[in-house]
Structure 1
Amino acid sequence: MNSPYLCPNCKTNRTRFNLIEQVVKPVKLNPKTGEIMEQLQIHQLDPFHLPYKRPAYKVQCGACGLIEDEIYFIKFAQLERP
């Protein structure tokens, strides 16, 4: 998060962003009711339950509302140096 951002959608915003934390909570659901039957820990997942492997947070442009992974905002800022 120590890199400049530039929104790849509106192409003008370099200063106003929202960081959206993604908190992972692995669960097992009842297939009929959708009720949570069990909350799991990351180290308790069975072989058929894939662990979450996405970034810990996403970035939202404060001007146009685009939500993407941080890398998109960083790479666009690197390409469009002022």
Structure 2
Amino acid sequence: MNVPYRCPNCRTNRSRFNLIRQVPQAVKLDPGTGAIMEEYTADQPSPFQIPYKGPELKIQCGVCGLIEDELTFAKFGEQA
């Protein structure tokens, strides 16, 4: 993380951000009630479910509320 961020939406914020850590939880839900019927782990994945491949971290601008991948804020922070 140790890179400067800047919001690509409001273009002024360089210091106030929310770090959103994404922790995926693989589950099988009851289609009628939505209750969790089964939970899958990395050790015992379901053969019918694709594992999560999204980013571990998302960033939210603390000024305008934009939520994007960390790379978006970092790349915009490189610009003057």
Q: Same fold (TM over 0.5)?
A: yes
Q: Distance in 2 between matches of 1:5 and 1:26?
A: 31
- Report the equivalent of 2:71: 71
From the two aligned structures, give the one with the greater helix fraction: 1
Q: Which runs of 5+ in 1 are unaligned?
A: none
Aligned to 1:52: 52
The normalised TM-score by structure 2 is 0.90
Count of residues in correspondence between the two structures = 80
Runs of 4+ that moved beyond 3 A: none
Aligned equivalent of 2:13: 13
User: Post-superposition shift, 1:39?
Assistant: 1.2
Determine whether 1:23 maps to 2:32.
no
Q: Distance in 1 between matches of 2:17 and 2:34?
A: 35
1:36 matches 2:36: yes
Q: Identity over aligned residues, as a percent?
A: 60
Task: Return the alpha-carbon distance in structure 1 between the equivalents of residues 31 and 42 of structure 2.
Answer: 21
* Distance apart, 1:34 and its partner CA: 1.3
